[in-house]
Amino acid sequence: MSLLISAVQLSKSFAGKKLFHGISFGISENERVGFLGPNGVGKSTLMQILAKKIPQDSGEVVATKGLRIGYLEQSPKFPANATICSFLLHNHEIDPDLMAKAYEWIGRLELSQFDEQTPIASLSGGWQKKVALAHELMRTPDLLFLDEPTNHLDVESIKWLEDFLSQAKFSCFFITHDRLFLQRVANRIIDLDPRFPGFLLSVNAGYDQYLESKAEMISNQEIRETKLKNLLRREKEWLARGAQARQTKQKARIENAGKLASHVEDLTDRNRQRKLNLEFEAQEKNPTRLIECIKVSKKFGDKWVFRDLNLMITPKTRLALMGVNGAGKSTLIRVLLGLEAPTSGQVKIAENLKSAYFEQGRDALKQEESVLKNICPFGDYVQYRNQSVHARSYLERFHFYKNQVDLPVKQLSGGEQARLRIAQLMLREAQILILDEPTNDLDIDTLNSLQESLEDFPGAVILVTHDRFFMDQIAKQILAFSPFENDQNQLIPFADYLQWEKWFDEKTELVQSGGDNQQAGDSQGIAHQGSKSDSRKLSYKEKIEFEKMEEVITQKEVRLAQIENEIEDPHIASQADKVQGLYAEMSGLQQEIARLYSRWAELEEKVKI
């Protein structure tokens, strides 16, 4: 593979902070490089340097002659009053071939559903990103840079982008923390992190191999730190023996001890755990039912958003919402919270329900004010978990230190702003967390910390995210807006993302094969298992229910066995309140298991008919 572009000893500082120093690597033909690193280390800055958008402080970027580069920004910018067509043809000489290329990408990116003169400003963030991508692809790039390309895209668009980049003839270099996207697209990983020697870890393999290599490198680095600390201790003991040990002939040894101490300090700093300690403040006592929907429907004008929704939100709920941009996810959230009335049906909300809402646009952040003022507008202390905590100390747990707390929020990276919004929400007592795209821009370490905190949160969680790996780790149920024409007002339940993906691929294949339109649009039109005759006996929802029934019953029976063992534990048996709660849960499980077996038999009979 021939080399396309090289970074040679690149260094860059920003606002007095050294982002990276002496960075060197290259990108070759047919490489799809996933570019990772903690928030704030300069990933976007380095990408802009490679794309010749901004200058470096030192070093150089060497590209092959005639290299065509495309660059998709994290938040694309457009000329005032630009339309889809005018932007695609911007800075190009207009000719028939160019017009044909523009219409080709309009079609391939499904922009044809809009008039070509549609103002870009009227489009959602996801569609704007598609317009910007089409503009870059019209350049026929040899190397395409993409900064957080999955942000603001719906899952269907991310799937398309995965397939497109995996089969593309050009090389690509992309910043993303979407782990499933990395697994499916990247054939090389570069990790920019001050913890690594030379700031970089480069692995010429996929994401899984990168994780193994990173773990091995960090382990070896920790072992080396331990060995050097032992060596330094012995040198210090030698120096402490007195004047005889510090004779002139031993001067070199004394100097080496100083260098060793500096090296150990550097290793210790690099190996220090930087894990965020996230813990949302929950209400001490939660009602059994937080929100209940009874045959709830919503429409705007003549268009139904969803119909006949029955849903129970309890403190154990972990619900993810899926759907194309504009499908109605935000509308559903507003209806659930009582911020918007349903067209029909009833929404019962627990009295004085306390919620915390992470908005996709992080609108609660005041961009012109400092990080500190966004957390503590008045005084020096915040109230966290019934304790008074100094605001600067509180911000340190989110990795905002002295050099950042007085900066205006607008100078923070996207990931840093997301961390700050989480810090705000953790000061609020809540029974339900609503998180609308909280994963945008967050690095993988922060995603892992957020995942752990949501797993421990005793209230309910409603999640909207394009990060399918994160969604699968958190959600116990998915409600998906169907993207197919004839059942767009249906909310279809799934157990996990892969079940949705299988359903989506099968329905898409049926539509593309020219099958009956009514059948293709109807969620009853595809059977996951069994013959075609079987598919007519169960509705689609019933087939999903039937396929998962055995697994659901097994999970409940496992939990029932756990409870029985816990009740027999002498330590627990002495705790009256604990035992009472376990017996109540056991009784509920026994009734639920009996109901499930009855329902299973009912569905089996329908299949046999």
pLDDT single digits (tens) 87-118: 988 765 666 777 888 888 888 888 888 888 89
**For the chain, what are the domain ranges?**
3-209, 212-271, 291-506, 540-608
pLDDT at residue 527, as a whole number: 30
pLDDT at residue 529, as a whole number: 34
Residue that has been written with the tokens 């050009």 in this structure: 170
pLDDT band at 260 (very low <50, low <70, confident <90, very high): low
**pLDDT tens, 264-310?**
666 566 556 566 667 777 666 777 889 999 999 998 888 889 988 99
pLDDT, average across residues 19-48: 91
pLDDT at residue 390, as a whole number: 92
pLDDT at residue 601, as a whole number: 72
pLDDT, average across residues 429-440: 89
Beta-carbon count within 10 A of 588 CB: 12
CATH code reported for the domain at 291-506: 3.40.50.300
> Which of these CATH numbers, 1.10.8.60, 1.10.10.10, 3.40.190.10, 1.10.287.380, describes 540-608?
1.10.287.380
Model confidence at 509: pLDDT above 70: yes
Distance, CA of 143 to CA of 139 (rounded, Å): 10
Distance, CA of 50 to CA of 63 (rounded, Å): 9
Residue that has been written with the tokens 């966004």 in this structure: 374
pLDDT at residue 291, as a whole number: 92
**pLDDT tens, 522-545?**
443 333 333 333 333 566 667 777
Query: Distance from first CA to last CA of the chain, Å, rounded?
Result: 61
Beta-carbon count within 10 A of 45 CB: 20
Distance, CA of 513 to CA of 380 (rounded, Å): 65
Model confidence at 261: pLDDT above 80: no
CATH architecture under which domain 3-209 falls: 3-Layer(aba) Sandwich (3.40)
Q: pTM, whole model, 2 decimals?
A: 0.70
Model confidence at 178: pLDDT above 50: yes
pLDDT at residue 528, as a whole number: 35
Assess whether the region 3-209 and the region 291-506 belong to the same CATH fold. Answer: yes
Q: Helix 155-167 crosses helix 497-512 at what angle (to 10 degrees)?
A: 70
Q: 97-106, 171-180, 242-251, 271-280: lowest mean pLDDT where?
A: 242-251
Model confidence at 591: pLDDT above 50: yes
Q: What mean pLDDT is reported for the chain?
A: 82
Higher pLDDT, 219 or 305: 305
pLDDT band at 173 (very low <50, low <70, confident <90, very high): very high
Higher pLDDT, 433 or 552: 433
